[in-house]
Structure 1
Amino acid sequence: MTEQSCIFCAIAAGQQPATVVYRDDRVTAFWDIRPQAKVHVLIIPNQHFSSLDDAINADPALLGHCLQVAARLAREQGIHTTGYRVVTNVGPHSGQSVFHLHFHLLGGNPLRLALG
């Protein structure tokens, strides 16, 4: 996938519709169209990185900012007191289906442990 064909790049650029809940010059956050929890928000860097593996050496401060935004949104959604999960998938074996780095903020109901 190239940046030109990346759906998340198009959302970050405002060229593709999404229900955006947060946007700044570095990240965009929006509701997942196939939610796996009552609260399921995706937090993406506006700059294209294929995955965490791609971004780790390029801009470590951006990764911290993504997590700060996730915590802020958890508070705004009222899930910070009961608990929430922040997940990123890396590569096809992990279930990554859109190859643009993104973090899932999940909460609002009890979550199953989804390992193995």
Structure 2
Amino acid sequence: MNEIFSERWLSEAVDLMVRLVEAAGALIIFVGAMVAFVRFVVVGLRERRAEAFVPVRLELGRFLALGLEFQLASDILRTAIAPTLREIAELAAVAAIRTALNFFLTREIKEERDELARREPAP
């Protein structure tokens, strides 16, 4: 029983989880980019107004924010087992950067959404 939960086994299991979560985050970002690209082309062919692209940017922003959350989760998992001080410092730096990116991305999405709501005529 002790062998099943050895540090080596646990390390390998967490490494697999890290890879899966990283892959999920990358896939979310990739799918979001492809969806946004297709919508960008469709909107670009139908309309020539810059405002028409705002919903495309908002949708891409949501995918990016979600993908960043998955990437941050994988970083946290990576340092879950006996982290060194260096790994903790790297996690702190990466977490700060990704959190800041996510904060500003979320703020921009909210501002764009509010701007769209102001432009729409009241019912």
Q: More helix by proportion, 1 or 2?
A: 2
Q: More strand by proportion, 1 or 2?
A: 1
Same fold (TM over 0.5): no
Greater Rg by CA: 2
TM-score tier after normalising by the smaller chain length: 0.3 to 0.5
TM-score w.r.t. the length of structure 1 is 0.33
